[in-house]
Every structure is written in structure tokens, then in C-alpha cells.
């Protein structure tokens, strides 16, 4: 019943064997230590009988391993990070790892302090979608030989494993599609973020504009704002730039605010204004008109992230750090295709 009390010591005493013998048997090292089958059976039977559960804390203290991974993301409640968190946890579980998470909302101080906390609790590895200026804190972690996989946004000049998508290329492709559809004045609405993924998306847009000698028009808004503010700022932006006839939104929630803005302004999609969003959302499939979007391969990203990390943790891989880029899919729907 109350299995909390029984320890290896109790078992050893009760069975008149040494603690080490019990420990070896429990950990499947009986053979390696040439413990007799009989002894092993006896111990195993007793363990089963009393329903013995090892104390993982003690084990962690002795081995230095906690079988836990720290997951630090922007927002676990969001439609990009949430599904990623789900898949990562399900894969980690299969390998015997638990996930401890924290949402940073892109606040560097919060991220650094939670990184410290997780490190002090001896997680075996980290998966991080870092806010800006985390380089130093992460370097320290790596210096202490704790494996780290960075994803979604890269930290320049840092030698870590990284998994992300081809932001620049796919945005360029999307913008070229708008140009082919004869949209003349394409705006880019994003965040005032120096993060790599945001910079790359902007570059993709600028590159497409440059190629066709179009003048870029960019709106960048602060990250820590709310939906209403985004919406009203977008309305203001579109009113003061009436020539704009298409918008690329650099995140899905900006696009959602954009759709509200466009609805309030009474504009028609795609006749008055063409729309493309980065990242998928249920809304985009079902909206009418449906919204053209860049869809990240969540499954593949998650699989790559956890695989790289577990290779380092379990197999102690010391292979050179990898930068893995998994291409996104550009899904053309109605919002970016002129009817005429």
C-alpha cells in the first residue's frame, strides 16, 4: 500500500542481501555483476509483491540525471508553440523524459531567470525559442555541458544546435506570387523584433520587392501589445497608405488583427486587398475568402528538435552542432488570387 516508505535498504534487510545487490538487480545490471539468477528472481519477486517504487530524487542526486527537459517558448498557449509542445512531449515521453515548460512572452529577463532555475534543478537538456539577448545566458549553460537546442529563431554567432524553417525563401516566394497576381503595392506588417526569423521574413519581402523594383512599405509594431491595439494600428496604417492593395502578415495573430481591421474598414479580400499570413490557423482555412498562408511543418520540426536533443543527452553525441532548416509549405488560397 504505502509504497512511499520502502527503500532499497528495507528490501535488502528484509531479504538479507546487500543494498548494492538490490540496486543492480533493479537497474538490470544483475547479469553484468554476475548475480545469481536465484537471487535475482527472489528480489524481483519481492519488489513486485510490495510494489516497490524507486525514489527518483535520490537516484538523480546520485547519478546527476533527472530525465527532464526544460522547454522555454514564447507562449505555450499559442497555435504554433502549443502543438509543438504537444509533439515534443509525446516524443520525449517515449524516451523516458519529462518536460518542464515556461512561457517567456519574449521577455529576456524572465527567460534568463527561468533558464537559471531550470539549470539549478538540473534538467538534462534545453529546448529554447529564445528572446533576444539570451546569448550570454545560453552560452553559460552550454559551457556547463548541458545540451541545448534552439528553435524557431536563431541566435547569431552562437554555436548551438538549431532547428527552423526557410523563412526568407518562402516569404520571397509568397511575395512573388502576389506580384504575379498583379498586386502593385504590397505592404509587410510585422513586429519590431530583431529576432532572426522576423528579420529573415522581412528580408524575403524586401528581396522580392527589390527584384521587381517595387517600393517596400513596412509596418512594425511592438511585441508586447494586444489584439485591439494591433487592429487599430493596422487600420491607421492602411488609411494613411491608401495605395496598398496587398499585405503580407509576418505572424498569424497579426493577420487575425489584420482581418478584423479590414472588416472594420469594409474592404473586400482579395479585390480591394490581397492577404497572405505566415503560419497556419484554423481560421485561415475556413474564412471566406480562405486565407493564403505559409504553413510550417510542425511534426517535422518537433521530431528534429527532440531527436537532436536526445542524441546529445542519451548517446552523449558530441557531433558538431547542426543547423537544420525544414522548408515550409506555401498554401495558396483565395485571399491572394485575383478573381478577374
Partner DNA sequence: CTGAAAGCGCTTACAG
How many chain residues interact with DNA (CB under 7 A)?
27
Quick one: cell of 234?
493596422
Enclosing H/E stretch for 162: strand 161-164
CB of 177 closer than 8 Å to CB of 156: no
Burial class (CB in 10 A: 0-12, 13-18, 19+), 106: buried
Residue 256 touching its own copies (CB under 8 A): yes
134 binds DNA (CB under 7 A): no
| Binder of DNA out of 13, 14, 33, 210 (CB under 7 A) | 33
Q: Is 55 in the site for its own copies (CB under 8 A)?
A: yes
Taking the least distance from each CB to DNA, the nearer of 37 and 339 is: 37
Question: Would you count residue 95 as binding its own copies (CB under 8 A)?
Answer: no
CA distances from 18 to 10, 15, 43, 58, 331 (A): 10, 9, 11, 18, 64
244 binds, among its own copies, DNA, none (CB under 5 to 8 A by kind): none
Cα torsion 298, 315, 321, 134: sign: positive
Residues 62-91 that bind DNA (CB under 7 A): 62-63
Residue written as grid cell 538487480: 25
Q: Checking DSSP bridges between strand 68-73 and strand 98-103, what pairing results, if any?
A: parallel
9 in contact with DNA (CB under 7 A): yes
**What does 281 interact with, of its own copies, DNA, none (CB < 5 to 8 A by kind)?**
its own copies
Instruction: Give the span between the Cα atoms of 250 and 296, in whole angstroms.
Output: 13
* Closest to 130 measured CA to CA, from 203, 202, 198: 198
For residue 129, the minimal CB distance to DNA (Å) is 30
Query: Of 19-27, 188-196, 279-287, 321-329, which part binds DNA (CB under 7 A)?
Result: 19-27
Q: Which of 208, 192, 307, 302 is nearest to 251 (CA)?
A: 192
Q: Between residue 111 and residue 150, which ones bind its own copies under the rule CB under 8 A?
A: 114, 116-118, 120-122, 144
Q: Which position among 13, 41, 44, 55 is part of the footprint of DNA (CB under 7 A)?
A: 55
215 binds its own copies (CB under 8 A): no
Q: Which residues contact 173 (CB under 8 A, 6 or more apart)?
A: 204, 330
User: What is the distance between the alpha carbons of residues 209 and 203, in angstroms, rounded to a whole number?
Assistant: 10
- In angstroms, the CA 69 to CA 175 distance is 38
Q: Does 192 help bind DNA (rule: CB under 7 A)?
A: no
Task: Mention every residue, 6+ apart, whose C-beta is less than 8 A from residue 211.
Answer: 176
The residue from 51, 54, 194, 327 that contacts DNA (CB under 7 A) is 54
CB of 63 to DNA, least distance (A): 5
In the block, cell 504537444 appears at 86
Interaction partner, residue 108 (its own copies, DNA, none; CB < 5-8 Å by kind): none
Q: Which of 22, 24, 89, 209 binds its own copies (CB under 8 A)?
A: 89
Name the residue nearer to its own copies (CB basis): 37 or 339: 339
Q: Is residue 133 involved in binding DNA (CB under 7 A)?
A: no
The binding site for its own copies (CB under 8 A) comprises 2, 4, 53-58, 60-61, 66, 68, 75-79, 82-87, 89-90, 93, 98-103, 114, 116-118, 120-122, 144, 256, 259-260, 263, 281-283, 285-288
The binding site for DNA (CB under 7 A) comprises 5, 7-9, 16-21, 23-24, 26-27, 33-36, 39, 53-55, 58-59, 61-63
Amino acid at each position: 500500500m504505502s509504497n512511499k516508505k520502502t527503500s532499497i535498504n528495507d528490501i535488502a534487510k528484509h531479504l538479507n542481501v546487500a543494498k548494492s545487490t538490490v540496486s543492480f538487480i533493479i537497474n538490470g545490471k544483475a547479469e553484468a555483476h554476475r548475480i545469481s539468477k536465484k537471487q535475482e528472481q527472489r528480489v524481483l519477486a519481492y519488489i513486485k509483491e510490495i510494489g516497490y517504487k524507486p525514489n527518483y530524487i535520490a537516484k538523480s542526486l546520485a547519478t546527476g540525471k533527472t530525465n527532464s527537459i526544460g522547454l522555454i517558448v514564447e507562449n505555450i498557449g499559442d497555435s504554433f508553440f502549443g502543438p509543438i509542445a504537444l509533439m515534443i512531449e509525446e516524443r520525449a515521453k517515449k524516451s523516458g523524459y519529462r518536460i518542464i515548460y515556461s512561457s517567456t512572452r519574449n521577455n529576456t529577463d524572465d527567460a534568463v531567470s527561468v533558464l537559471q532555475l531550470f539549470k539549478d534543478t538540473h534538467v538534462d537538456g534545453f529546448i529554447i525559442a529564445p528572446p533576444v539577448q539570451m546569448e550570454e545566458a545560453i552560452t553559460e549553460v552550454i559551457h556547463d555541458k548541458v545540451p541545448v537546442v534552439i528553435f524557431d529563431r536563431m541566435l547569431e554567432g552562437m554555436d548551438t544546435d538549431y532547428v527552423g524553417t526557410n523563412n526568407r525563401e518562402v516569404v520571397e516566394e509568397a511575395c512573388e506570387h502576389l506580384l504575379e497576381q498583379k498586386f502593385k503595392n504590397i505592404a509587410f506588417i510585422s513586429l519590431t523584433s530583431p529576432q532572426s526569423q522576423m528579420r529573415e521574413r522581412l528580408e524575403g519581402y524586401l528581396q522580392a520587392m527589390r527584384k521587381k523594383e517595387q517600393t517596400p512599405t513596412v509596418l512594425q509594431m511592438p511585441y508586447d501589445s494586444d489584439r485591439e491595439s494591433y487592429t487599430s494600428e493596422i487600420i491607421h496604417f492602411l488609411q494613411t497608405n491608401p495605395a496598398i492593395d496587398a499585405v503580407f502578415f509576418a505572424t498569424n495573430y497579426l493577420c487575425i488583427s489584420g482581418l478584423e481591421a479590414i472588416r472594420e474598414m469594409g474592404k473586400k479580400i482579395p479585390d480591394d486587398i490581397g492577404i497572405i499570413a505566415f503560419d497556419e490557423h484554423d481560421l485561415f482555412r475556413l474564412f471566406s475568402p480562405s486565407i493564403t498562408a505559409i504553413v510550417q511543418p510542425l511534426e517535422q520540426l518537433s521530431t528534429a528538435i527532440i531527436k537532436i536533443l536526445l542524441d546529445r543527452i542519451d548517446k552523449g553525441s558530441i557531433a558538431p552542432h547542426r543547423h537544420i532548416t525544414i522548408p515550409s509549405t506555401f498554401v495558396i488560397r483565395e485571399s491572394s488570387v485575383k478573381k478577374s
